[in-house]
Amino acid sequence: MNAADLGLPVDVPSTALFTDQYELTMLQAALRGGTADRRSVFEVFTRRLPEGRRYGVVAGTGRVLDAVENFRFDAGVLGFLRERGIVDEPTLAWLADYRFGGDIWGYPEGEVYFPGSPILRVEGSFAECVLLETVILSILNHDSAIAAAASRMSAAAGERRLIEMGARRTHELSAVAAARAAYVGGFSSTSDLAAGFRYGIPTVGTSAHAFTLLHDTERDAFRAQVDSLGRGTTLLVDTYDVAEAVRTAVEIAGPELGAVRIDSGDLLLVAHRVRQQLDELGARDTKIVVTSDLDEYAIASLAAAPVDAYGVGTQLVTGSGHPTCSMVYKLVARAESADPKAPLRSVAKKSLGGKLSIGGRKWAARRLDADGVAEAEVVGTGPVPVGLADRQLLVELVKGGEVVAREPLEAARERHMAARAGLPMSAIQLSRGEAVIPTEYV
């Protein structure tokens, strides 16, 4: 489910101002110079993965489709541009009728990517494509960074559940996007109700330390929570003395107590002690949830602990040290005239300092070894080799301005699990290393 399915509006009158001013000044100059209608191909890619990462995760595609549909210059937006003198009247007239009418192809959401992968390809006139650069990059860079962190955490967690709970650690709208991206990357639920409402993600939550401190005794707090939410609730047991809290929790809720949550201390040691105590008290089915500023390394360190679920906040919504993917949006081909039949010509920036680009409208395929495990990301501009024809990665997302590839968020989540499983086993190692498979250009 997505925002369009729910009939929800975007959070601003339009997404048209989610852009940089130079997109509009380039448009004005291109309109005046007669090059605005030249057929063009832009591609989104990254030259490198964040340091130490073995693969990237495509996330935010569904939000990109919503943003493109809502990229409209309404009266208020046009008035702002006119008042500031950002563009001239002919450009304002052109913007008033703006609707993206081109085609967009891309890696489907949840797929993995590598340096040089043509993650998204936007085709149309220069004018209509250039305006979308910033909004596309802002969505894909943020969401893919969160999804990559989530994927590493879910790999470290194995079969144990992961709860996204980082809303209070980031911008309120970023929190919703982060919860969505985390779900794609393998998390099972979120504490953020806006994310649950907007995207259908399962939501969870019971109580914080403030609820315990509100009451005269911890027993009173536990009794009030169990009376309200039932014996299957999760009780927070580290406000005062953990052992005493666990004993009190089982006395009040009985062996049907759903779970206890530990939010501080030596989690490995405390989890073992709590598990032993629960078992001795007869609450063998009561689960243990741990929180407290976890990341993928902390989760991996708890693999031997009797933990059933992890709640992750700050490290997740900040990309676990890598809050962006350094994706760029580059013109790779353009026609030599505005004639719709004019052939495309490859173009590329030539620069020092590692910013070289490869021109040409690209395809991508993943080559597998004899065991069906990925061994290379193959990117090319010519004919697709016969052996890779059925392994192509880009799918059509928008055709003639119309979205053609909306899907439930669950589909992206399942796709990611399958894509990650198809990589070499070293992909999920947390030790630093290069991309798990090479990118080959043909």
* pLDDT given for residue 355 in this prediction: 73
* 116-140: b (≥16 Cβ within 10 Å) or e: bbbbbbbbbbbbbbbbbbbbbbbbb
Which position has the token pair 């499983």?
Answer: 421
Residue 37, amino acid: D
The C-alpha atoms of residue 35 and residue 26 are separated, in whole angstroms, by 10
Between CA 160 and CA 349 the distance in angstroms is 46
Q: Show the beta-strand stretches assigned E in 218-302.
A: 234-236, 259-262, 287-290
CA pair distance 274, 242, nearest whole angstrom: 8
CA distance 144 to 171: 17
| pLDDT class of 1 with cuts at 50, 70, 90 | very low
The 3 state secondary structure assigned to 385-408 is CHHHHHHECCEEEEECCEECCCCC
Which two three-digit tokens encode residue 75?
């009266």
Note the pLDDT tens digit of each residue in 247-263.
999 999 999 999 999 99
Give Cα 414 distance to the centre of its chain.
14
H helices then E strands: how many in the chain?
A: 16, 18
Non-local CB neighbours of 265 within 8 Å, separated by 6+ positions: 238, 242, 292
Question: Cα separation of 391 and 111, whole Å?
Answer: 13
Calpha distance 150→320 (Å, rounded) = 9
∠ CA 84-34-382, rounded to 5°: 115
Q: Do residues 271 and 306 touch, judged by C-beta distance below 8 A?
A: yes
Residue 383 pLDDT class (50, 70, 90 cuts): very high
What CA–CA distance (Å, rounded) separates 287 from 234? 8
Asked if pLDDT for residue 196 goes beyond 90, the answer is: yes
Cβ-in-10-Å burial (0-12, 13-18, 19+) of 341 comes to exposed
Q: How far does CA 298 lie from the centroid of its chain? A: 21
Closest CA to 364 of 319, 394, 334, 329: 394
State which amino acid sits at residue 415.
R
Integer Cα distance of 54 and 429 in angstroms: 8
Q: What is the pLDDT of residue 357?
A: 81
153, 299 contact by CB (below 8 A): yes
Average the pLDDT over 36-48 and give the result.
97
Q: Which amino acid is at 188?
A: S
Mean pLDDT within 97-106: 98
Mean pLDDT of 175-190: 98
The answer to whether residues 14 and 74 touch, using CB atoms and an 8 Å cutoff, is yes
Beta strands across the sheet bearing 259-262: 189-190, 161-164, 309-312, 287-290, 259-262, 234-236
Q: What is the mean pLDDT of residues 20-38?
A: 97
Q: How far is CA 367 from the centre of its chain?
A: 25
pLDDT of 311 > 50? The answer is yes
Residues 147-174, mean pLDDT to the nearest whole number:
97
Q: Which of 181, 135, 186 is nearest to 159 (CA)?
A: 186
Give the chain's length.
442
Nearest CA-CA partner of 13 in 71, 91, 62:
71
- The average pLDDT across 15-25 equals 96
Please give the Cα distance from 351 to 117 (Å, whole number).
Answer: 20
Q: Is the pLDDT of residue 4 over 50?
A: no
Q: Which residue is it, tokens 């052996």?
A: 387
The answer to whether 307 and 160 have CB atoms below 8 angstroms apart is yes
Mean pLDDT rounded to a whole number for the chain: 95
pTM: 0.94
Average pLDDT over residues 207-213: 97
